[in-house]
Amino acid sequence: MMATTHVFTGLAAVAPIAYVVPEFTLALAVGAIIGGFVPDFDLVLAHRRTLHFPVAGLATAAPAVVFAAVTPSSSTLGLAAFAVTAWLHAASDAIGGGPEMDPWNDRTDRAVYDHVRGRWIRPRRWIRYDGAPEDAAIAVALAIPALVVFDGWLTAVIVGGVVASLVYALVRRRLVAWMPDWLE
């Protein structure tokens, strides 16, 4: 899935909390946004293995949520939003295609690495590839709760993310042809 879809997943997850406790809106939003992006920093390493923890991430996310519930503060809620969103990012990569540049060719049986079991989780391909039309539709749908709850500059960030998602979805399959050989 697109990085923006992961970010919108996190924002949708924290939106109800931000609605109930608006004093923590900024911390929740920033934690979710960063948590949605950080796992993909492993693009230059072993993508979907180095910073993706689809099973082990729950062991971090769950205690972070409990800690934030027991001692609510901007720091604890922001950290919990980050941990949950990063875990959701890694776990949801299994419902898409593989990590290769052209996952629509179904060349791999590797979606995301499970560090607990020491093996790759196979791609389910419910979302065929990042930037697929269904990915864009899910991104837009997940952005709606965030647009309802968050305001100010966060609204601009969300709208910008929706626009970026739609543009990326329009050109995604053509990107492979435009890539230099050394990136493939």
CB 143 within 8 A of CB 162: yes
Is residue 169, in this structure, part of any structural domain at all?
yes
Is residue 180, in this structure, part of any structural domain at all?
no
- What is the three-class DSSP state of 113? strand
Q: How many CA atoms lie within 13 A of 140 on its CB side?
A: 14
Amino acid at position 132, single letter:
A
The total number of structural domains that make up the chain: 1
Structure tokens at 96: 């898409």
pTM of the model: 0.91
Is residue 140, in this structure, part of any structural domain at all?
yes
Is residue 179, in this structure, part of any structural domain at all?
no
Is residue 121, in this structure, part of any structural domain at all?
yes
- Among positive and negative, which fits the CA dihedral 79, 82, 84, 87? negative
Q: What is the pLDDT of residues 126-166, one digit of tens each?
A: 998 899 999 999 999 999 999 999 999 999 999 999 999 99
pLDDT band for position 181 (50/70/90)?
A: low
Residue 121 phi, psi dihedral angles, 5° rounding? -85, 135
Count CB-CB contacts under 10 A for residue 124. 13
| Lowest pLDDT segment from 6-10, 23-27, 36-40, 175-179 | 175-179
Residue 99: give the domain boundaries: 3-174
Is residue 182, in this structure, part of any structural domain at all?
no
- Among positive and negative, which fits the CA dihedral 19, 20, 26, 28? negative
Is residue 166, in this structure, part of any structural domain at all?
yes
Is residue 181, in this structure, part of any structural domain at all?
no
- Residue 100, pLDDT score: 75
Q: Residue 82 pLDDT more than 70?
A: yes
